[in-house]
Structure 1
């Protein structure tokens, strides 16, 4: 009876718990569904309350929202923060610029809704205890530092005026609030002034694409962080590929003369001088936005090196200018190998027009960039979830309308966006938005005052850890840069034949794993880090859990992808020579060689004849007075000296390199030895005559007696 009663109570308890869980799940699903369809909820919340906001707070605005459709739900106080994103390709829209805006908006939506499908750590910040949400606006830098800086100064002026003044002309869902952080920019030359101005105004800047080594200095950029490593890490990968895969000994570097290009070229030079063997590097600068004459001058300097392997660190405009000129000058195409940096990975979504000089110049060349694309990333949780969510969100009618409201100049179709591929900068932008939101959440929880400072936000940011496209993301707390060992590199082959233009991954840089040991919630910067090919992110839930990250005693190696062959400019898989074939400008013709050998024979024959004559006349008074020993030495010296002509004449004939090398070495020995013997005998004989003459005068012996 007692057992039956206990069983009944247990079943009743389970039933009640099931009902509660079902209701809770239903509420959460309903809440998520409402928020996911209402993309502009927080934009409208801010814009609908701008009349009541006298002045924006330092880094957030507190607004109260009351659900008019609910009689039981109490009003919610939302803390709204605003982000200003400085990107490219928004006014004159291109596919990569649109994808970047869509990626940033999706990251913002995921954080605001607590959607942890891509980054599990987002869920920890989306709680009822802290209603921190974000809005975002987008500014086109036009790739110009002055234009971007002017826009940022205009945005910062909002701090001293009520929101209603600068939101009077707001179109659609655009929010014009005072920012709590800056996202961007793409080019290092643009990011530099943005970070400086932002730092003076107590704003953190997070860049997803600027890689200049200068940004690692916290004395100059104390509030700048990056979700991308510095250019030095990219340069190390470049040198590694040329050394390990191509066995290069000489390398020409053409770089754009700005902070990004100069730091990239500098690290290539440094890395090339180290390692198992050094690579001779010649660097040539190219002015930013160079004219055709300036480009030709730089290419002539590059051509004078005589090298055939080149690294080009160029922006898109310079790339379009330089490469056709290089093809016309004969230093691009067959017999040459060019490697480009990550900027040219945009060719994946904007193929080169086939048949043009640009297509002919870059056919068979390479791009070294971070790993991206289905072939390299498909099967990982982040990549698969990202593509699925991106497609579902932006091909919906509500999603497309929301994207159009953020991009008034949008002139591309939804189908074009659907067919395009994400590049690595897009993933880093998503990570930058997510990381800044998570760090803001952490800073808001830790602060005891009404506002968190930019320094509080920066310190939280560099300590943030979350699951990214290549696995867990860590930041260097001294520099604010992304840790180099959380990045994967690949080499892509540009193929622009007559009917097609594609960019395919051929090589991927991996860690050579020799010893694997699980790191139990610890991270050591002194260890080499390695990710297995298929990462099990299910084991990565907590911010410090590193169950799938291992240490290794091996180093990085380049691995050719399965069923892949790198196609070079001549259409074959044969690597061009690093240097042009050696041309012997000192080689003489056969006729000259015949005359020289005849003269040599005459010289040797006469020397032998005089040796024989001296020997036969050695007892005569004249020969005895001339000292026969010195005459023998003089003739032997002329024989050796004359025979040095023979090795020089061998260059006129088709002989092996070993024989020619021996001939060159023997010429020096024969010439020097023959010259030394001949003139030593003359000098010795002259000196002896001198001493005999002096001795004769001292003894009173005159010439007549002699």
Structure 2
């Protein structure tokens, strides 16, 4: 250093250089005042005890970022920084500060050249607000990668360093891979924070006796001073004043002790301690504003800047300020922030939930089909009760038929309960609905299939009996089988409900951006589930499957039985096969297309309705047809018998005088209604009653005429009404 004594250092301006120089300055016992070295590493007072700045550090910029985030109620941001000693420490401190203020960092990326991966991570995490701590070249590459990935538009906002030079986004290097317009499309209207001095202030007088405007006019008029980096000039100017005033104050303090700065040497800790205290207590009006320190940190407000439209200006525009004292931000009313979408962005965006419900059309159609099925089932139920004593119905166990019909009605009700999902159900009601859907389908299945199983078992038991002793199986035994199966279901349901009750669960089908960038549209599906659902369903399915297989075996064994009294055996077998097939199809539909709400509903409801209706028709339509054929046969026999008897009567009455023969014919005529009665036909209940009645009336009129002409002493054919009271109810 020669004979020149050095008391301090102004600079360096680059943080990485300042870190190296700062270590040397410590060893030489020298003060340092940097105009722009903002690295947080320089805040380590153990390594850099004599380091000061005329500007603020990165820590204060980070505080201003947090204040902006809290002002706009953003709770989810991304941080991208250059992986270097200049930016990584600041980024780490920033992330810790965000977490301390309950702000979620959905993505934090330290990059070297992995721009595409960084952008992909942003998209995967759905970030909207991105804070960048990067050199200009790195930011250009990142913006280009964002453009190519489609990460731009009015729903994204970047917050970048304020020291970037004007129009930094104008690309001249072809290696970047994007045009200026493309880069601008990505960072359009981005925000920045920077030091808050006003070089156009021509009112406030500084310590030099000149206003900031006059100082900068001097810089512009001096040919030795460049016209770039005006901010740097102001802070360098104030850095010189900071060190000069501290030296003056130190010298004055030393004179009180009969010393002076001339006594300073590079190992004098006492004088350095006084100089250090003088630097901490510095306070004056500089060209960058009022200069003072809180410890070793410069106290200075922070400007909030925004990139305007390219047609307006190339310079960043001040839109607000961060007050270091109140730790809050305020924005200018005369120059407000311009939001690309016209509204303040939200981060994270508010999620608007669109609940996937069953289509009203599909619900209406299947509800109508289920209602028609219930009406049909009630009709069969009435028919079964009214004619339970008829031979065809009596042999098929009418009581068990009633149980089967009730099971069919319950299955139809399950389809209607499913239809309730066409509307939003309150959470407290959804749990009841969840349980009802499972209980109804299982109960209905048990009653329907249990009845078929019991019937098939009875037929198999009778016709596989190899002993001479007749097998008598009562109705109550068959109903007991169904009750036993139902009891097993109820027991499982009670245990299930106590251990793992069914609850409403939420499944996100898809999430997409809304037209308004503040919102996301989330398609969700609410369904019924519980813990260990697979175990409970497997338990029920295994029991039902075993019954299905056993029932199918019994149906196969009795497939060749064709007895008039057991004419529904083959239909029972077909119904069991039908149930087996549709249960498998319904289970596949439930597992594979659960998320497609309407499709799943249509497939499951179709399986229930087709299976239930087919089973019911297979069992009752043959009985109705058999009953109808029996009635036609009786009516035909009655009509032919009456005509033949009348013809015989005419012939005997006119050509024979054998009184005994005539009396015999009279006896036959008297027995004719009783023959009809023995066929167990209730004439009054059927359409053809009136026609038959009229025919018998006409026969009586003819007999009266014949009686008068032939003078035979014969009586009339008894009217059908004479025997009505004896017919079946």
TM-score, normalised with respect to structure 2: 0.49
**Equivalent in the alignment of 1:467:** 285
**Equivalent in the alignment of 1:481:** 297
| Mapped pair 1:667 → 2:533 | no
- Distance, in Å, in 1 between the alignment partners of 2:445 and 2:508 is 26
Please tell me whether the aligned partners of residues 35 and 55 of structure 2 are also in contact (alpha carbons under 8 angstroms). yes
**Equivalent in the alignment of 1:362:** 187
1:623 is matched with which residue: 469, 481, 485? 481
**Equivalent in the alignment of 1:608:** 444
1:258 is matched with which residue: 84, 96, 103? 84
- Distance, in Å, in 1 between the alignment partners of 2:43 and 2:503 is 62
Q: What is the count of residue pairs matched by the alignment?
A: 428
**Equivalent in the alignment of 1:507:** 320
Q: What does 1:578-597 correspond to in 2, within 5 Å?
A: 578-579=347-348
1:565 is matched with which residue: 308, 323, 336? 336
Report the alpha carbon displacement of residue 316 of structure 1 after superposing the two structures with TM. Answer: 2.8
Report the alpha carbon displacement of residue 295 of structure 1 after superposing the two structures with TM. Answer: 3.5
- Distance, in Å, in 1 between the alignment partners of 2:528 and 2:446 is 24
Please tell me whether the aligned partners of residues 633 and 677 of structure 1 are also in contact (alpha carbons under 8 angstroms). no
Cα pair distance change 1:651/1:362, threshold 3 Å: closer
- Distance, in Å, in 2 between the alignment partners of 1:650 and 1:458 is 61
- Distance, in Å, in 1 between the alignment partners of 2:535 and 2:292 is 71
Cα pair distance change 1:208/1:680, threshold 3 Å: same
Please give the secondary structure, in 1, of the residue aligned with 2:93: helix
| Mapped pair 1:296 → 2:125 | no
Q: What does 1:133-282 correspond to in 2, within 5 Å?
A: 180-245=7-72, 247-275=73-101, 277-282=102-107
> Structure 1 residues 669-678 or 278-287, which shifts more?
669-678
Q: What does 1:663-702 correspond to in 2, within 5 Å?
A: 664=526, 667-668=528-529, 672=533, 675=536
- Distance, in Å, in 1 between the alignment partners of 2:147 and 2:74 is 22
| Mapped pair 1:322 → 2:142 | yes
- Distance, in Å, in 2 between the alignment partners of 1:445 and 1:367 is 42
Please tell me whether the aligned partners of residues 359 and 496 of structure 1 are also in contact (alpha carbons under 8 angstroms). no
- Distance, in Å, in 2 between the alignment partners of 1:588 and 1:434 is 72
| Structure with larger Rg | 2
| Mapped pair 1:443 → 2:250 | yes
Q: What does 1:341-352 correspond to in 2, within 5 Å?
A: 341-344=161-164, 346-347=165-166, 352=170
| Long gaps (5+) in structure 2 | 172-178, 267-271, 371-410, 419-437, 455-474, 513-518, 545-729
- Distance, in Å, in 2 between the alignment partners of 1:243 and 1:596 is 52
Please give the secondary structure, in 2, of the residue aligned with 1:335: coil
Please tell me whether the aligned partners of residues 195 and 221 of structure 1 are also in contact (alpha carbons under 8 angstroms). yes
Report the alpha carbon displacement of residue 339 of structure 1 after superposing the two structures with TM. Answer: 0.4
Please tell me whether the aligned partners of residues 128 and 156 of structure 2 are also in contact (alpha carbons under 8 angstroms). yes
- Distance, in Å, in 2 between the alignment partners of 1:369 and 1:394 is 21
Please tell me whether the aligned partners of residues 588 and 651 of structure 1 are also in contact (alpha carbons under 8 angstroms). no
Report the alpha carbon displacement of residue 435 of structure 1 after superposing the two structures with TM. Answer: 0.6
- Distance, in Å, in 2 between the alignment partners of 1:428 and 1:649 is 57
**Equivalent in the alignment of 2:619:** none
- Distance, in Å, in 2 between the alignment partners of 1:621 and 1:637 is 24
Report the alpha carbon displacement of residue 365 of structure 1 after superposing the two structures with TM. Answer: 0.8
Per-residue Cα deviation, 1:198-240 (whole angstroms, up to 9, x for no partner): 3323332211212222212221112212223332221111012
Q: Which has the higher contact order (CA 8 A, sep 6+)?
A: 1
- Distance, in Å, in 2 between the alignment partners of 1:492 and 1:203 is 36
Report the alpha carbon displacement of residue 651 of structure 1 after superposing the two structures with TM. Answer: 7.2
Please tell me whether the aligned partners of residues 493 and 506 of structure 1 are also in contact (alpha carbons under 8 angstroms). yes
- Distance, in Å, in 1 between the alignment partners of 2:233 and 2:366 is 71
2:212 is matched with which residue: 387, 407, 413? 387
- Distance, in Å, in 2 between the alignment partners of 1:237 and 1:487 is 11
Cα pair distance change 1:57/1:444, threshold 3 Å: farther
- Distance, in Å, in 2 between the alignment partners of 1:586 and 1:57 is 80
- Distance, in Å, in 1 between the alignment partners of 2:504 and 2:333 is 55
- Distance, in Å, in 1 between the alignment partners of 2:75 and 2:117 is 25
Report the alpha carbon displacement of residue 559 of structure 1 after superposing the two structures with TM. Answer: 1.7
Cα pair distance change 1:661/1:378, threshold 3 Å: farther
- Distance, in Å, in 2 between the alignment partners of 1:619 and 1:660 is 55
> Structure 1 residues 186-195 or 448-457, which shifts more?
448-457
Report the alpha carbon displacement of residue 633 of structure 1 after superposing the two structures with TM. Answer: 4.2
- Distance, in Å, in 2 between the alignment partners of 1:237 and 1:282 is 20
Please tell me whether the aligned partners of residues 638 and 678 of structure 1 are also in contact (alpha carbons under 8 angstroms). no
- Distance, in Å, in 1 between the alignment partners of 2:304 and 2:525 is 44
2:344 is matched with which residue: 553, 575, 600? 575
Q: What does 1:485-564 correspond to in 2, within 5 Å?
A: 486-498=299-311, 500-510=313-323, 529=325, 555-564=326-335
Cα pair distance change 1:676/1:610, threshold 3 Å: closer
Report the alpha carbon displacement of residue 662 of structure 1 after superposing the two structures with TM. Answer: 9.7
Report the alpha carbon displacement of residue 392 of structure 1 after superposing the two structures with TM. Answer: 4.5
Please tell me whether the aligned partners of residues 338 and 366 of structure 1 are also in contact (alpha carbons under 8 angstroms). yes
- Distance, in Å, in 1 between the alignment partners of 2:349 and 2:508 is 23
Per-residue Cα deviation, 1:514-535 (whole angstroms, up to 9, x for no partner): xxxxxxxxxxxxxxx4xxxxxx
- Distance, in Å, in 1 between the alignment partners of 2:119 and 2:251 is 53
Please tell me whether the aligned partners of residues 509 and 523 of structure 2 are also in contact (alpha carbons under 8 angstroms). no
Cα pair distance change 1:272/1:660, threshold 3 Å: closer
TM-score, normalised with respect to structure 1: 0.50
Please tell me whether the aligned partners of residues 80 and 133 of structure 2 are also in contact (alpha carbons under 8 angstroms). yes
- Distance, in Å, in 2 between the alignment partners of 1:581 and 1:347 is 35
Instruction: Kindly report the root-mean-square deviation, in angstroms, between the aligned alpha carbons of the 2 structures.
Output: 5.1
